[in-house]
Amino acid sequence: MARVSATSRPVAGEAGPTGCRPNVVVVLADDMGWGDLGCYGATKIPTPAMDRLAAEGVRATDCHSASAVCTPSRYALLTGRYAWRGPLKRGVLWGHSPAIIEADRPTLASVLHEAGYATGAFGKWHLGLGWHFRDDRVLDAFEPGTPLVAMAEVDDGSNVDYAAGFAGGPTTLGFERFFGMTGSLDMPPYCFLDQDHTLGIPDRPKARYLPAQGQGLQVADWDEEAVDARFIEEACSWIRGQAAADRPFFCYVALSAPHQPCVPPNFARGSSKAGARGDMVCVVDWAVEKVVKLLDELDLAAETLVIVTSDNGARMAEVDGGTHGHRANGDWRGQKADIWEGGHREPFVARWPGRIPPGSVTDEMFGLVDMMATIVTATSVEVPLRAAEDSVNMLGVLTGGLGRSRGRPLVHHSFDGTFSIRDNCWKLVMGSGSGGFSKPFGRHCDDIFVEGQLYNLSEDPAETRNVWSEQPEVVDRLYAELKALARGPASGLSFDVVRVGGGTVRLPSGLVTRVGQCGSSSTLRGRPTE
């Protein structure tokens, strides 16, 4: 287990009840959009279990993943820090990519385990693993030049010694129990993972390729339709064991649904009016219902904080013939991978009887990066010093108590590494397009291309009116705040975007952040002169 420093830092906001040790269950869907739930306005997909949680707890309207794609979003949730502080600056990991969380990095699981909690992870990991290759290599994500995203050379698995297991996985990062899979259902290896080994050996080419699946090896009995049901079976069995042992527990359930390929099992097929993808959202709801019913059965509901959310927005590709008139991301602009709201604004419901008032709705801005500070505070545990530096305790937002404002800006990130910062109503995008899957894709703002986007979300929530050139003072202020948060160009943010007078000036990275006549701050105005 990763060790946690005994020295801890206080967390801003409402404190947890002294001595309180609630169980915590986090259900993380894969590509479930803001508009996929009935309690967020969906009419074509029935989600009674998640709607019930919202009615018995709180529903958030302004919750965000740290990135618009899978890997960096999950990194932020479990570590309380933005993924671009580590080795991954853009994109997502592949099935055989190396582990991007250091073994000694405090995680939500390791902090709770150190405090006496049982910890279990079930489902999609997608944070890299230390696979053993047949030439005796184990890729190190922190070694310069190690490939993280472009893994075509090794990702079919032919060079992997599956019998040797893997390092750097959940069991080295605070989870006592892990049962899951390496990444998404479209990534090899096509098998389950049990603790630090594959369950069986992927030793044969995949028998049938579904849409978007990559070439690779599978175990003999691999069945995509049964994956989420198996995750829930394992999670529920583990919860029963902790209840019998009278141990407080943290259960992290990361489902594969509704990520493509959309292959709903028989019990969910046709359960929505939004095609196969809509049926997969119903699988998420079924999973939530199974877990909540078990907590009721074990008489644990009153002492368990349950959170249901998603890692990023929905992808709007026509995976099964169209959207069927369903707006998976609600009225927000964009989709999965985009820097626009549809890429990272998430559904979020939480229930904690006696602590979260039933039927609550919060419009306060917060992020999944805040879950580490929030959850450890709810359990009366403290965040270790020098850990989770981007995580803010938002317990007051969930409970309606003190500390109901985040108090600092929130950073967003897109598939191609475009940065955005949100401070109250203002949202600054350091690029000219989506940075993801939607057109126009655009390009990053830097010292050559000084063009970005600025939106007032209070007046223009659909991000239709870019006021970048009309509000240079706001652009300048938010850019300065973003640089202060990023702390240096190693983050992937350009620190050389500076305009003085009518021309563009490039300054040594990190040396100057405020330039202008008479000590005034520099402003970004339109395109640079040639």
Residue 403 lies in a domain: no
Question: Are 241 and 368 members of one domain?
Answer: yes
The reply to whether 433 and 367 lie within a common domain is no
Q: Residue 159: which CATH number?
A: 3.40.720.10
> Does residue 265 lie in a domain region?
yes
> 513 and 385 in one domain?
no
Task: Please indicate, yes or no, whether residues 38 and 163 belong to a single structural domain of this protein.
Answer: yes
What pLDDT is stored for residue 401 in this prediction?
81
What is the rounded distance in angstroms from the CA atom of residue 355 to the CA atom of residue 305? 9
**In terms of domains, do 385 and 429 share one?**
no
Q: In this model, does residue 291 exceed pLDDT 80? A: yes
Report yes or no on 419 lying in a domain.
no
Residue 340, domain member (yes or no): yes
Q: Are residues 90 and 201 in the same domain?
A: yes
Q: Please say if the pLDDT value at position 5 is more than 50.
A: no
Would residue 324 be called left, alpha or beta, if left means φ above 0 and alpha means ψ between -120 and 50 degrees? left
Percent of the chain having pLDDT more than 70? 88
Which pair of structure tokens corresponds to residue 286? 């079924």
Q: What is the pLDDT of residues 65-107, one digit of tens each?
A: 999 999 999 999 999 999 999 999 999 999 999 999 999 999 9
Is residue 307 domain-shared with residue 440, that is, in the same domain? no
Same domain? 362 vs 448: no
Q: In the chain, what is the straight-line distance between the N-terminal and C-terminal CA atoms, in Å?
A: 55
What pLDDT score was predicted for residue 316? 86
Residue written as tokens 């919060």?
362
Residues 456 and 317 in one domain: no
Q: Which residue has the higher pLDDT, 9 or 287?
A: 287
Q: How many domains does the chain have?
A: 2
- Are residues 242 and 145 both part of a single domain? yes
The domain of 433 spans 424-519
pLDDT digits (tens, 9 = 90+) for 360-403: 999 999 999 999 999 999 999 989 988 999 999 999 999 998 77
Residues 432 and 380 in one domain: no
Q: Is residue 267 part of a domain?
A: yes
- Backbone φ and ψ of 70, nearest 5°: -65, -65
Cα–Cα distances (Å) from 471 to 25, 424, 456, 457, 525, in that order, read 43, 15, 10, 14, 9
Per-residue confidence (pLDDT) for residue 320, from 0 to 100: 53
* Residue 530 domain flag: no
Q: pLDDT tier at 10 (50, 70, 90 boundaries)?
A: very low
**Same domain assignment for residues 210 and 350:** yes
Tens digit of each residue's pLDDT (9 = 90 or more) over 426-472: 999 999 999 999 999 999 998 889 999 999 999 999 999 999 999 99
In a domain, 475, yes or no: yes
Give the helix ranges, DSSP H, for 341-422: 341-344, 371-378, 395-399
CATH at residue 493: 3.30.1120
Residues 6+ apart with CB under 8 A from 138: 98, 130, 131, 132, 167
pLDDT tens digit sequence for 477-523: 999 999 999 999 999 999 988 754 433 333 433 333 332 222 223 33
pLDDT band at 318 (very low <50, low <70, confident <90, very high): low
In a domain, residue 410? The reply is no
